[in-house]
Amino acid sequence: MTGRPPERHRPLGIGWPNVLSIGRIVLVPVIVGLLVAGSAPALWAAFGLFALGAASDFLDGYLARRHEMTTTTGAWLDPLSDKLFVAAPAIVLAAQGSFPVWAAVLIVGREILVALLRWRLDKQGVSMPASKVAKAKTVSQLAAVGMAIAPLSSAWDRAEFIVVLTAVVLTAYSGAEYFLSSRHRVEA
Protein backbone atom coordinates (compact mmCIF):
# COMPACT_ATOMS: atom_id res chain seq x y z
CA MET A 1 0.00 0.00 0.00
CA THR A 2 1.33 3.42 -0.83
CA GLY A 3 0.26 6.83 0.33
CA ARG A 4 -2.19 7.53 3.10
CA PRO A 5 -4.23 4.62 4.53
CA PRO A 6 -7.96 4.57 3.72
CA GLU A 7 -10.21 6.45 6.15
CA ARG A 8 -11.59 3.17 7.54
CA HIS A 9 -8.10 2.56 8.96
CA ARG A 10 -7.97 6.05 10.51
CA PRO A 11 -10.77 6.49 13.08
CA LEU A 12 -10.72 9.98 14.61
CA GLY A 13 -7.98 10.75 12.06
CA ILE A 14 -5.31 9.03 14.17
CA GLY A 15 -5.39 5.40 13.04
CA TRP A 16 -6.38 2.19 14.79
CA PRO A 17 -2.92 1.56 16.29
CA ASN A 18 -3.05 4.91 18.12
CA VAL A 19 -6.66 4.32 19.19
CA LEU A 20 -5.57 1.00 20.73
CA SER A 21 -2.64 2.68 22.52
CA ILE A 22 -4.99 5.33 23.94
CA GLY A 23 -7.38 2.54 24.95
CA ARG A 24 -4.59 0.89 26.97
CA ILE A 25 -3.95 4.18 28.77
CA VAL A 26 -7.67 4.50 29.54
CA LEU A 27 -7.70 0.97 30.98
CA VAL A 28 -4.93 1.77 33.50
CA PRO A 29 -7.07 3.64 36.09
CA VAL A 30 -9.85 1.06 35.72
CA ILE A 31 -7.43 -1.80 36.40
CA VAL A 32 -5.87 0.10 39.31
CA GLY A 33 -9.33 0.74 40.78
CA LEU A 34 -10.19 -2.95 40.54
CA LEU A 35 -6.88 -3.88 42.19
CA VAL A 36 -7.60 -1.49 45.04
CA ALA A 37 -11.10 -3.00 45.43
CA GLY A 38 -9.30 -6.30 45.97
CA SER A 39 -12.18 -8.78 45.94
CA ALA A 40 -11.75 -11.96 43.90
CA PRO A 41 -14.33 -10.84 41.30
CA ALA A 42 -12.62 -7.43 41.03
CA LEU A 43 -9.21 -9.10 40.60
CA TRP A 44 -10.54 -11.43 37.89
CA ALA A 45 -12.11 -8.42 36.14
CA ALA A 46 -8.77 -6.58 36.41
CA PHE A 47 -7.01 -9.63 34.98
CA GLY A 48 -9.50 -9.80 32.08
CA LEU A 49 -8.99 -6.12 31.26
CA PHE A 50 -5.23 -6.51 31.60
CA ALA A 51 -5.26 -9.48 29.20
CA LEU A 52 -7.37 -7.45 26.76
CA GLY A 53 -4.94 -4.54 26.98
CA ALA A 54 -1.96 -6.87 26.51
CA ALA A 55 -3.56 -8.33 23.39
CA SER A 56 -4.17 -4.81 22.07
CA ASP A 57 -0.43 -4.12 22.37
CA PHE A 58 0.31 -6.88 19.90
CA LEU A 59 -2.60 -5.90 17.67
CA ASP A 60 -1.59 -2.24 17.37
CA GLY A 61 1.91 -3.18 16.20
CA TYR A 62 0.50 -5.62 13.68
CA LEU A 63 -1.96 -3.05 12.31
CA ALA A 64 0.68 -0.33 12.09
CA ARG A 65 2.98 -2.57 10.05
CA ARG A 66 0.25 -4.27 7.99
CA HIS A 67 -1.43 -1.04 6.91
CA GLU A 68 1.70 1.13 6.90
CA MET A 69 0.30 3.35 9.64
CA THR A 70 3.46 4.00 11.60
CA THR A 71 3.37 7.61 12.77
CA THR A 72 5.45 9.99 14.84
CA THR A 73 2.61 10.04 17.37
CA GLY A 74 2.52 6.27 17.49
CA ALA A 75 6.30 6.12 17.95
CA TRP A 76 5.98 7.77 21.37
CA LEU A 77 2.37 6.88 22.26
CA ASP A 78 2.78 3.10 21.99
CA PRO A 79 5.84 2.87 24.29
CA LEU A 80 4.23 5.33 26.72
CA SER A 81 1.04 3.27 26.91
CA ASP A 82 3.09 0.08 27.38
CA LYS A 83 5.06 1.62 30.24
CA LEU A 84 1.97 2.97 32.02
CA PHE A 85 0.09 -0.27 31.43
CA VAL A 86 2.78 -2.32 33.21
CA ALA A 87 4.13 0.19 35.74
CA ALA A 88 0.88 1.34 37.39
CA PRO A 89 -0.41 -2.15 38.22
CA ALA A 90 3.10 -3.28 39.29
CA ILE A 91 3.33 -0.35 41.74
CA VAL A 92 -0.13 -1.01 43.19
CA LEU A 93 0.52 -4.75 43.46
CA ALA A 94 3.89 -4.14 45.14
CA ALA A 95 2.25 -1.75 47.62
CA GLN A 96 -0.31 -4.47 48.39
CA GLY A 97 2.40 -7.14 48.81
CA SER A 98 1.26 -9.10 45.74
CA PHE A 99 4.34 -8.33 43.61
CA PRO A 100 7.98 -8.18 44.71
CA VAL A 101 8.96 -4.58 45.51
CA TRP A 102 12.47 -5.13 44.12
CA ALA A 103 10.99 -6.28 40.81
CA ALA A 104 8.62 -3.31 40.62
CA VAL A 105 11.46 -0.88 41.39
CA LEU A 106 13.68 -2.38 38.71
CA ILE A 107 10.90 -2.50 36.10
CA VAL A 108 9.65 1.04 36.76
CA GLY A 109 13.19 2.43 37.10
CA ARG A 110 14.27 0.90 33.79
CA GLU A 111 11.18 2.22 32.03
CA ILE A 112 11.79 5.75 33.32
CA LEU A 113 15.48 5.69 32.35
CA VAL A 114 14.79 4.33 28.86
CA ALA A 115 11.99 6.89 28.35
CA LEU A 116 14.44 9.66 29.27
CA LEU A 117 17.02 8.21 26.89
CA ARG A 118 14.44 8.04 24.08
CA TRP A 119 13.43 11.64 24.77
CA ARG A 120 17.04 12.82 24.68
CA LEU A 121 17.80 10.92 21.49
CA ASP A 122 14.57 12.18 19.92
CA LYS A 123 15.65 15.77 20.61
CA GLN A 124 18.75 14.98 18.54
CA GLY A 125 16.68 13.44 15.75
CA VAL A 126 17.85 9.90 16.56
CA SER A 127 15.30 7.10 16.54
CA MET A 128 15.58 4.22 19.01
CA PRO A 129 13.33 1.38 17.85
CA ALA A 130 12.56 -1.49 20.21
CA SER A 131 15.07 -4.32 20.10
CA LYS A 132 14.08 -8.00 19.99
CA VAL A 133 15.14 -8.36 23.63
CA ALA A 134 12.97 -5.36 24.54
CA LYS A 135 9.99 -6.97 22.83
CA ALA A 136 10.61 -10.19 24.81
CA LYS A 137 10.91 -8.01 27.93
CA THR A 138 7.49 -6.54 27.27
CA VAL A 139 5.92 -10.00 26.90
CA SER A 140 7.57 -11.21 30.10
CA GLN A 141 6.50 -8.10 32.04
CA LEU A 142 2.92 -8.48 30.84
CA ALA A 143 2.97 -12.14 31.91
CA ALA A 144 4.50 -11.36 35.33
CA VAL A 145 2.08 -8.53 36.14
CA GLY A 146 -0.86 -10.49 34.72
CA MET A 147 -0.08 -13.49 36.92
CA ALA A 148 0.22 -11.19 39.95
CA ILE A 149 -3.17 -9.63 39.19
CA ALA A 150 -4.99 -12.96 38.88
CA PRO A 151 -6.04 -14.35 42.26
CA LEU A 152 -4.22 -17.65 41.71
CA SER A 153 -3.77 -20.30 44.38
CA SER A 154 -0.43 -20.71 46.13
CA ALA A 155 0.26 -23.68 43.81
CA TRP A 156 1.19 -21.04 41.21
CA ASP A 157 3.76 -19.27 43.42
CA ARG A 158 6.81 -21.00 41.94
CA ALA A 159 5.69 -20.43 38.34
CA GLU A 160 4.89 -16.80 39.14
CA PHE A 161 8.34 -16.31 40.69
CA ILE A 162 10.04 -17.78 37.60
CA VAL A 163 8.05 -15.46 35.32
CA VAL A 164 8.86 -12.43 37.51
CA LEU A 165 12.55 -13.38 37.56
CA THR A 166 12.55 -13.79 33.77
CA ALA A 167 10.91 -10.37 33.40
CA VAL A 168 13.49 -8.77 35.71
CA VAL A 169 16.43 -10.34 33.87
CA LEU A 170 15.08 -9.26 30.46
CA THR A 171 14.24 -5.82 31.84
CA ALA A 172 17.79 -5.28 33.14
CA TYR A 173 19.40 -6.75 30.03
CA SER A 174 17.33 -4.72 27.57
CA GLY A 175 17.91 -1.54 29.56
CA ALA A 176 21.65 -2.12 29.55
CA GLU A 177 21.48 -2.94 25.83
CA TYR A 178 19.82 0.42 25.08
CA PHE A 179 22.31 2.43 27.09
CA LEU A 180 25.40 0.61 25.87
CA SER A 181 24.35 0.78 22.23
CA SER A 182 23.04 4.36 22.39
CA ARG A 183 25.35 6.20 24.77
CA HIS A 184 27.78 7.21 22.01
CA ARG A 185 24.92 9.05 20.25
CA VAL A 186 23.95 11.14 23.27
CA GLU A 187 25.62 14.52 23.35
CA ALA A 188 26.58 15.89 26.74
Given pLDDT bands bounded at 50, 70 and 90, which one contains residue 187?
low
The yes-or-no verdict on residue 9 having pLDDT over 60 is no
- 85 against 11, higher pLDDT: 85
pLDDT tens, residue by residue, 124-163: 777 777 778 888 999 999 999 999 999 999 999 999 999 9
Q: How far apart are the first and last CA of the chain?
A: 41
Whether residue 1 is contained in a domain is answered as no
pTM (predicted TM-score)? 0.82
Asked if residue 87 belongs to a domain, the reply is yes
The residue among 158, 159, 141, 151 whose CA lies nearest residue 47 is 151
Sequence-separated (6 or more) residues with CB below 8 Å from residue 52? 27
Question: Which structural domain range is residue 169 located in?
Answer: 7-185
Q: Is the pLDDT of residue 2 over 50?
A: no
pLDDT over 90 at 77, yes or no:
no
Asked if residue 78 belongs to a domain, the reply is yes
Q: Is the pLDDT of residue 79 over 90?
A: no
Residue 33 lies in a domain: yes
1 has pLDDT over 50: no
Domain annotation covers residue 112:
yes
Q: Is residue 140 part of a domain?
A: yes
CATH number of the domain bearing residue 112: 1.20.120.1760
pLDDT at residue 166 is higher than 90 = yes
Q: Give the tens place of pLDDT for each residue, 16-74.
A: 777 888 889 999 999 999 999 999 999 999 999 999 999 988 887 777 667 666 666 66
Residue 2 resides in a domain: no
Residue by residue, what is the 3-state secondary structure of 132-186?
Answer: HHHHHHHHHHHHHHHHHHCCCCHHHHHHHHHHHHHHHHHHHHHHHHHHHHHHHHC
Would residue 101 count as lying in a domain?
A: yes
Cα torsion through 144, 174, 84, 108, rounded to 10? 80
Q: Name the amino acid, one letter, at 48.
A: G
Query: Angle, nearest 10°, between helix axes 72-96 and 101-123?
Result: 160
Q: Say how many domains are in the chain.
A: 1
Segment 84-102 shows an average pLDDT of 96
